[in-house]
Chain A
Amino acid sequence: AQSVTQLGSHVSVSEGALVLLRCNYSSSVPPYLFWYVQYPNQGLQLLLKYTSAATLVKGINGFEAEFKKSETSFHLTKPSAHMSDAAEYFCAVKNYGGSQGNLIFGKGTKLSVKP
């Protein structure tokens, strides 16, 4: 069975600082991994995805994530935070169990950006 763990329910950074949101996964098969962002009163928006091609994945809004099999990690980073990055971020793994590819989500990390 697959699972994801997001370390830190809240992360606060200053504008212009590095953003690092942590995600570790558990999977008995090569995983498909995703990061979604949720802005207030909006749906989940896909930031980026890893599907066993390049280990460094670039997404929208300057975010990127690196798949590290040895560490079972898929941390999300952005070199310089903007105020508009304040949102909740979810890491997810594709389920290869009974269902046809539903996503298994972490609990989310709320990012605050201080001016």
Chain B
Amino acid sequence: GAGVSQSPRYKVTKRGQDVALRCDPISGHVSLYWYRQALGQGPEFLTYFNYEAQQDKSGLPNDRFSAERPEGSISTLTIQRTEQRDSAMYRCASSPGQGNEQYFGPGTRLTVT
């Protein structure tokens, strides 16, 4: 079946612009996670949803970052007033439940110029 998909795969934006990154999880997966991966580093946790409820946003670096999953399926990660330090690979993962293994999408490479 279809895996986790993310769009766009690549995004170049100018500093100060807002961006929205989309994640479409595996059908039926309850849990959805967002991670950010800087060059040469492993992914770092940003936020987590169980169905439509945002259970944990402790990894969001500041209030320019927000995420939603209004119908418990597709999720959007929004970064307002982007800065160069926001440049990274943003990864989404879904899971059948919080205790199960996570399946990752291909990621969105964000470059802020």
Contact = CB atoms under 8 A, between A and B. Distances in A.
B91 interface: yes
Contact of A43 (B45, B55, B56, B107): B107
Contacts of A92: 42
Given A98-B56, A101-B98, A44 B40 contact: no
Secondary structure call for the A interface? loop
Contacts of B48: 99-100, 102
Contacts of B101: 34, 46, 49
A41 B101 CA distance: 21
A45 interface: yes
Interface residues of B, number: 29
A102 B33 contact: yes
Nearest to A6: B42
Contacts of A9: 40
Given A34-B101, A44-B104, A108 B41 contact: yes
A107 interface: yes
Contacts of B103: 46
A103 interface: yes
Interface of A: 9, 34, 36, 41-46, 49, 90, 92, 95, 98-108
28 contacts: A34-B101, A41-B106, A42-B106, A43-B104, A44-B43, A44-B93, A44-B104, A46-B101, A90-B42, A90-B43, A92-B42, A95-B45, A98-B56, A98-B58, A99-B56, A100-B31, A100-B48, A100-B56, A101-B31, A101-B98, A102-B35, A102-B48, A103-B33, A103-B45, A104-B45, A106-B42, A107-B41, A108-B40
